[in-house]
Structure formats: structure tokens, C-alpha cells
Amino acid sequence: MEVSSEYAVQMHGILKKFGVFTALDHVDLDVKKQTVHAILGENGAGKTTLMNILYGLYQADEGGIYLNGEEVKIATPTDAIKHGIGMVHQHFMLVENFTVTENIILGDEVCGAAGVLDMKKARQEVQALVEEYGFDVDPDAVIEDITVGMQQRVEILKALYRGAEILILDEPTAVLTPQEIEKLIEIMHDLIAKGKTIIIITHKLKEIMQSSDECSIIRRGVYMGTVNVKETNETDLASKMVGRNVNLTVEKTKAHPGEPVLSIQGLTVKDERGIDQVRDLNLEVRAGEIVGIAGIDGNGQQELVDAITNIVKAQAGTIKINGEEVQNTTPRNTYTHSVATIPSDRHRWGLVLPFAVSENTVLERHVDEEFGAGITLDYDKLKSYTTELIEKFDIRPSGCEDERMSGLSGGNQQKAIIARMVSAAPNLLIAFQPTRGLDVGAIEFVHKTLIAERDRGAAILLISFELDEVMDVSDTIAVIYHGQIVGTYEQGTVDENELGLLMAGGGAK
Amino acid sequence: MDSIILLIGITLMYSTPLIFGALGGVISERSGVTNIGIEGMMVIGAVAGASASYFTNNPWIAFLVAGICGGLVALLHAIASVSFAADQTVSGVAINLLAPGLALFLCRYFFDGAAMSPIVEKMPKVFGDSWMAGTVYSNLNVNVTTIIALLLTIATWFVLYRTKWGLRVRAVGEHPAAADTLGIDVYKVRYVCVILSGVFAGFGGASMTIGIISQFTQTAISGHGFIAMAAVIFGKWTPFGAYGACLLFGGTQALTVLLGGGSFPIPSQILAMLPYAMTIIVLVLFVGRSVAPKADGVPYIKGSR
């Protein structure tokens, strides 16, 4: 592609290596002015690396960057800001105890003499910006008190305040409710109308279809081409991204629920600061059904799981598994009641990364007779057992029994956890964010496994921040808001908008 | 009435070194660097102040020298904990172990092997030496360092909350990656703050040896830096909060002096424990509740976000 002033951003032949690993292999990107351009790729494909190069956080080993047809050198974020590039990071870069205004002016402050802040003038400037773009943001609000959607608008304002003409949005919808996503897409189209250019990094196909004009696809660091969004569809994009045909719909038969396995009544859990995170919560999961809990991160999901697994104490209420009360005992007790948990953060809770794969596959089960008598561990047995799991669950690379767990990819680490949990044939399987950070292929595997476990007769409690996942996989959908279940529906009897409203606290109980 | 005036006077006197130390702690921790080495920096300030006063006969110059020496020690802490991302507690402990030895060595070197300095020129009193002499009111004629401590508290507050540098310092202490993406040099901000904290701690040491007593002894600074750190926490990492906390701890120390001189039958060893016991009580009651700057004690490594 020729370098031309028709394009806001052009990146040609970008090569970036981290050690021996090639993150980007001569990638090209051409973004037309005043368009929304999506960059699609699986986790680890290199899309964020490419944008970090554009924003000056990394340096490319080879290749050139052109803005409006002129070659530029971008060595630091400061250079990028000077060239009118703004970036909204996936994890917001906001100081939580600062006000909106303070966050926006930080680093480019409005000052009187001798560096003394002129907050009155700063506030006026921010207010003017808010009005110009029609954002619903209070300049005096403190960040930790406002919603995630508003925080994101503050991030966009930060870039606009610095005169950004090109906005990079990194996975902007990951933390938003459906309503907030709609609002964001509106804002994006507004900004385009006002002359800005937007690059959006995502692996969510639906949003690309809704928001973007063009879409460039990167697969494992290699540029796979650019398509006009109007001339394509989701299935087509998915297969381009993964490199094979992917089944995007979850296939399952009707559930045949049996007796209740998990029943929670009046559960209240406080966090370490003494604030109620779970309030008087009631929930039931029956054998042979998947109950999915939809909700935005931080509404008590973590505390709920921690209480069931006895990692934290419950202040009030009962948790019964197969009719026996287990609350306020020990994690071991939960385990002996045949409960298996896929934790939300596999590095923090699920695995011991420096341990061998074989050692990891028997965490929790190491005390079972099967793996050794008395205080000893039978390492030969461990290894042969692991070999079995590796074959059955297709954990790669095969023959990795003695490898360190940290050497496996995220998807294979997750498979290892699932293999360990499922092979115990639990009565209750808790899956907390089971597809976090996984690519489309691995997600397909996780969903299939959950449904297979259900059909075996296990009760499944699925907790996810991805609304689509909850809606596709669950037989019963419950919405958690502010530590309470605020609505329960059969699958297929509720739409995304209704759930989204409840997740944001918009529904009556 | 007399004993109240006495109590106020002694409280102001004893809280002064703590206030300098605590301000140092506030400014360092607000930028995200835990500075447990305040104690050591105060010890160095104490010996530097007394020695410089001895050789120059000018306590004002000596006071500045003490600040510079404290700042130099802090530079070590900054190099270790900011540039090399070392564990900040370990680096601070190392300074606390190093400083008393270095101070004693310097003292013996300057004063012919003596473990304490001769009597040196002190900083002046606010109203001159003869004001109300002989009456109980002379206790209110505080050392000029007490006033400097108050002014420095106001100045620190103003810089932290009313200037762009303060905004940047607080941002770096809360969310360094956010500051970095906006073109703020996290390392530079932290270096400046850590060095300043050493300068303040140096002032604190000097305000003991050329403010309260007029010589350096090995026990001149004994735990003042740690009490100052407790004051930082109790004062919720704000300059005025720390100032108030230091007054409380200074007041406890004053009470020790008053009760010791009175007719109460309390062993002096028990009384001497009061300020330290108070520190522990306050920490137990308040540490869990006050919230430190989010990035306090976490080294910032570019690119790991």
C-alpha cells in the first residue's frame, strides 16, 4: 500500500521480537481518516503489541510509521501525544482517588504562577470539553465513585484534552454492560463525525460488526488482510482469525434437572474491610443443570465463590451441599463434599506455576490413597495419571508431564485445571470465569466440557463477566447485583437488554 | 496552670524532630516509596549537625549541612529502591543498620575518639535567650526549629495539594503506570521525593542535637525515626495529620518528663516506655483503618502493567 495523506495512520512492515519470540512479523496497517478501524486477533496474536508500538510504549525492530502521509518517529508516549495519538488502555490508567478533572489535567496541568494549580480554570476547560462531546460526566466526581462506563469516558476525555485526532481503544467493551456498549458505539460514531479517527482492538466479533468500517486481522503476529465490514459476517471473521472453521454457537440438549446439590440461603459475606459483599443471597443449583450467574465484576461474585469453597467465612446464612451444611468449615471439607472449582485467576489460585504439570494435576487430590500411602507420594503413579489426562484432554505439548506448568500456554494451563477438576467426577462444579483470556478454539472446548459434565449429572455453577457466555451455556440464568440475586430466568426467556439493565442495578427486585 | 504551660513547652520541643522525620515519610511514601530508613537518616543528620556546628560555630549552616547529609543517605535508598527496584524495606533496614555505626565512626573521627561530641552552638530561641528567663513562661520560648517544622508542614501541604508537582507526586504514588502514560517521569519524581525525605529527616536529626540538646550522643536519636513513621500512618499520609500525630507522641514524651520530676511513685524505666508504648497502641488501633497510597512500597518497572 502506498503512503498517502488519505490515511490517518499507516504502519508498514512492523517487526517486533521479544527475545527469540517474534510477536509481530512484518505487519501492515492502513487506517483511513475518519473511520473506525478494528484490529481483530486472538489473545496473544500481537494486536496490543502493535498498538503499543504506535503509542510509543515499545519500539519496533523494523518498519515505519506514517501519520497523514508523513513518516514519524514515536519513541515515547509523550511523542505519541504530540502527534495527536491518544490511547485508552484496557486496564484504565486512572488515579482512583483523584477527581475527574485532576485525572484529565495530570501531566498537562492548568497552572498560574510558579506551578500553582488553577483548578477553577481547569474545571471550566474540562466542563467545556464534556459539553462539546456531550459526555455525561461530572468533572468534580471522584473516579472510584463513578461507573466503569463513565471512567472510560474520562479516559477518552483525557485523550481529547490533549488534542488527540487518532484514538486507540484497547478492548474497550470487556468491562461494560450491553447498554454501556451501545452508548460507547454511539460515542465512537459521534467522534468520527467530529473528524477523529478510531482504532479499536478487540476479539469480539459482534462489536466489530456494529461499530467498525474496516477490520484488519492478525493471526500469531502475521497480518492476514483487511476486510470491509459491510461485506463480511461474524463466521467469516472468526475463521480468518483462528485459521479454521469455528462453531460459534453452543450446542446442547435440554437439561433434565434432578435433586438440589447446592442450596444457599440468606448468605452474607463481608470483605476484609468489613463491607457486605454478598447480602442475604439465595441460590439453588440442581444436579444436571447449569446455573449461570451474570453480573459485572465486583458485585460479590468473588466472595460468593470464596464462601462456598470455605476460603472466607460467611457472616450469616447456610450453604448446603447435598443437604449437609458446609459453611464456615475448611476448604478440605468442601472438597470432600465432592465440589470442584475452576478459579477465576488460574495463576493465583488454580496452579503452582513453578511445579511440574504432573504435580499440578494432583493438587487437592494429593492426599487421596490413589497417589501414595501415608506421608509419601507415588511419583510414578502421578506421572502415568498425568499422561492419561494429557491424552484425554489434549493438553499440549504432549509429553509435558515433567515440564514446568509456567511453560504451557494459557489455554493449555486452563485445560490442565479442567482436567484435574473434571476427572474427580464432582457432584458440584464451580466454573468462575472459565474462559478468561482464552481464544475462540479453547473457549469452544471449555463450553463443551461444561455441558458434558452437566449431562453426566453434575450440578454446574457458572459465574462469568461475559454476558454472552452466561446466555449461551446456562440452563438457568441468575443476575447478581450488589451481592444479591436480582433476577432468575430460564434460558431463552430473557434478552440481553433486560439482563443488562438488572446487572447495572436498573431493575426492581 | 504552671504544669500545663510546662507540658505545652516540652511537647513542642520533643515533637519537633518527629515532625521533620514524619514530613520526610509523608513525601516519600506519597510518591510510592516506603522509607523505613528515616531513623538512620535522622541519626546521620544528628551527627552532621553537631559536627558542623562545632567546626563552623554557625548552627544555621550546621542545620543545612545536616539536611544535605540526610539527603545523601536517602540517595542510596533511591538508587536501590527506584533504579534497581530492590525491596524497599530491606534497603531501609540496611540504612538503619549502617547509620548508627557510621555516625559513631564520624564522631570518633572528628572528636579524638570520643563517643559524643563536645557541647556545640545551638539554634537560637524564638524570642531570644533572656525572654521571661526564670519564669515558667520561658518554656514557651521554643527553639526556632519548632517554627521551621511548622512552616515546613504548611509548605509540604501546599506543594502536595495546590501545585502541579504535588498532583504528579500523588499520582505517581497511587498509579505510576497512569502517570507514565501521560509523560510523567516516574523515576525522577520518586528520586526527588526520596532525597527530599532524607533532607527533612536530616533536619530532624539536627533539631535534636543542635535544637534540644547541644551535642551528639549515641542515644540522641533512639527510635525517633520509627515513631515518626508511626505518625505518618496515624496521620493518614497527610502533612497536617502527621503533624498532629507527632504532637501526640511528643506530648507523651513530655508527660514522661513531667511525671518523672513529680512526686508520683512510678519507676522511671516504666515512664521511659510511655512514648514507645503509645506508638504501639496507636499503630494497633489505627493501622488497619488508614489507607496507604496504592503503589506505596511497590517498585515501578516500566512495561510491566
DSSP conformation letters of A127-194? HHHHHHHT----TTSBGGGS-HHHHHHHHHHHHHHTT-SEEEEESTTTT--HHHHHHHHHHHHHHHHT
Query: Which whole number is the average pLDDT over A470-484?
Result: 94
C-alpha cell at A470: 452466561
**Chain B contacts of A91, Cβ < 8 Å?**
305
The answer to whether residue B73 is domain-embedded is: yes
pLDDT at B18: 97
Asked, for residue B77, whether it belongs to a domain, the answer is yes
The size of chain B, in residues, is 305
* pLDDT number for residue B128: 82
pLDDT band at B303 (very low <50, low <70, confident <90, very high): low
The whole-number pLDDT of residue B41 equals 97
Among A59, A79, A95, which would you mutate to test the B interface (most chain B Cβ atoms within 10 Å of its Cβ)?
A95
Where does the pLDDT of residue A242 fall: very low under 50, low under 70, confident under 90, or very high at 90 and above?
Answer: confident
Backbone angles phi, psi at A39, to 5 degrees: -115, 115
Nearest by Cα to B277 from B237, B235, B243, B248: B248
Indicate whether A272 pLDDT > 80: no
Closest partner residue to A102 among B167, B294, B305, by Cβ? B167
Determine whether the interchain pair B178/A97 forms a contact, defined as Cβ–Cβ distance below 8 Å. no
How does residue A98 score in pLDDT terms, banded at 50, 70 and 90?
very high
Q: What is the reported pLDDT for A349?
A: 86
Of B162, B178, B181, the CB nearest to A116: B162
* CA atoms of B82 and B300, how far apart (whole Å): 7
Test A97 with B174 for CB contact under 8 angstroms: yes
Positive or negative CA dihedral for B147, B151, B156, B157? Answer: positive
Residue with cell 510509543: A56
Whether B169 and chain A come into contact, CB under 8 Å, resolves to: no
CB contact at 8 A, A278 and A305: no
Q: What is the mean pLDDT of chain B?
A: 91
pLDDT at residue A453 greater than cutoff 50: yes
Task: Give the residue-averaged pLDDT of B13-30.
Answer: 97
Nearest CB neighbour to A109, from listed B167, B174, B181? B167
Q: In terms of residue numbers, what domain contains B211? A: 2-222
Q: What is the pLDDT of residue A212?
A: 94
Q: Kind and range of the H or E element at A55?
A: none
Confidence check: pLDDT of B139 > 90 = no
Report the residue of chain A nearest B289, measured CA to CA.
A273
A-to-B residue pairs, Cβ atoms closer than 8 angstroms: 68
Report, as an integer, the average pLDDT of B197-225.
95
Q: What is the pLDDT of residues B260-293, one digit of tens each?
A: 776 667 887 888 888 888 888 888 887 666 788 8
pLDDT tens per residue across span A104-139: 999 999 998 888 999 999 999 999 999 999 888 999
Q: Cell 500553582 identifies what position?
A: A116
Does residue B63 belong to any structural domain of this protein?
A: yes
CB distance A421 to A364 below 8 Å? no
Q: Please judge whether B163 and A116 are an interchain contact, meaning their C-beta atoms are less than 8 angstroms apart.
A: yes
- Collapse the DSSP code of A24 into the 3-class scheme (helix H, G, I; strand E, B; otherwise coil) and give the result: strand
CA distance B133 to B141: 9
Higher pLDDT among residues A206 and B147, named by residue: B147
pLDDT of amino acid B135: 82
Which pLDDT band, with edges at 50, 70 and 90, does A410 fall under? confident
pLDDT at B288: 65
Looking at the structure of chain B, the number of domains it has is: 1
Geometric angle at alpha carbon A13, from A7 and A17, rounded to 5°: 130
Mean per-residue pLDDT, A293-298: 89
A195: three-class secondary structure by DSSP: coil
Q: Is residue B130 part of a domain?
A: yes
Dihedral angle computed from the Cα positions of residues A490, A491, A496 and A500, in that order, rounded to the nearest 10 degrees:
40
**pLDDT of B180 over the 60 cut:** yes
B178–chain A Cβ distance below 8 A for any pair: yes
Is B175–A94 a contact, with Cβ atoms under 8 angstroms apart? yes
Q: Over 90: is that where the pLDDT of A173 sits? A: no
Percentage of residues of chain A with pLDDT beyond 70:
99
- Residue among A109, A477, A110 nearest A285 (CA): A477
Out of A19-23, A48-52, A209-213, A277-281, which region has the weakest mean confidence (pLDDT)? A19-23
Cα Dmax for chain B: 65
pLDDT at B1: 75
Q: How far apart are the first and last CA of chain B?
A: 60
Q: Cell digits for A336?
A: 470432600
Domain annotation covers residue B86: yes
Q: Is residue B239 part of a domain?
A: no
C-alpha cell at A85: 495519538
- Asked whether the beta carbons of A435 and A464 are under 8 A apart, the reply is yes
What are the cell numbers at B115?
563517643
Closest CA to A21 of A44, A51, A52: A44
CA atoms within 13 Å, Cβ hemisphere of A374? 1
- Mean pLDDT over residues A294-309, rounded? 91
The string over A78-110, giving b where at least 16 C-beta atoms fall within 10 Å of a residue's C-beta and e elsewhere, is: bebbebbbbbbbeebbbbebbbbbbbbbbbbbb
Q: Tell me the three cell numbers of residue A368.
A: 487421596
- How many whole angstroms separate alpha carbon B170 and alpha carbon B181? 15
CA distance A481 to A484: 5
A107 CB neighbours in chain B (<8 A) are 168, 179, 182-184
User: Is B260 among the domain residues?
Assistant: no
Establish if B170 touches chain A: CB-CB under 8 angstroms.
Answer: yes
Q: What is the mean pLDDT of residues A484-509?
A: 86
Q: Which of A77, A103, A117 sits opposite B164 (nearest CB)?
A: A117
- The confidence score (pLDDT) of residue B289 equals 67
Q: What are phi and psi of A72, to 5 degrees?
A: -130, 155
B59-94 as b/e: b if 16+ CB within 10 A: beebbbbbbebbbbbbebbbebbbeeeeebeebbeb
Query: Residue A260: its pLDDT value, please?
Result: 94
So what's the pLDDT on residue B305? 38
Give the H or E element holding residue A205.
helix A205-211
Residues 6+ away with beta carbon under 8 Å from A381:
A370, A371, A372
Domains along chain A? Answer: 7-242 (3.40.50.300), 258-338+427-509 (3.40.50.300), 356-424 (no CATH)
Residue B301 included in any domain: no
Percent of chain B residues past pLDDT 70, beyond the cut: 97
Average pLDDT over residues A25-33: 94
Q: In the prediction, which pLDDT does A20 show?
A: 77
Is residue A509 very low, low, confident or very high in pLDDT (cuts 50, 70, 90)?
Answer: very low
> Residue B221 has what DSSP assignment?
S
How many Å apart are CA A334 and CA A424, to the nearest integer? 13
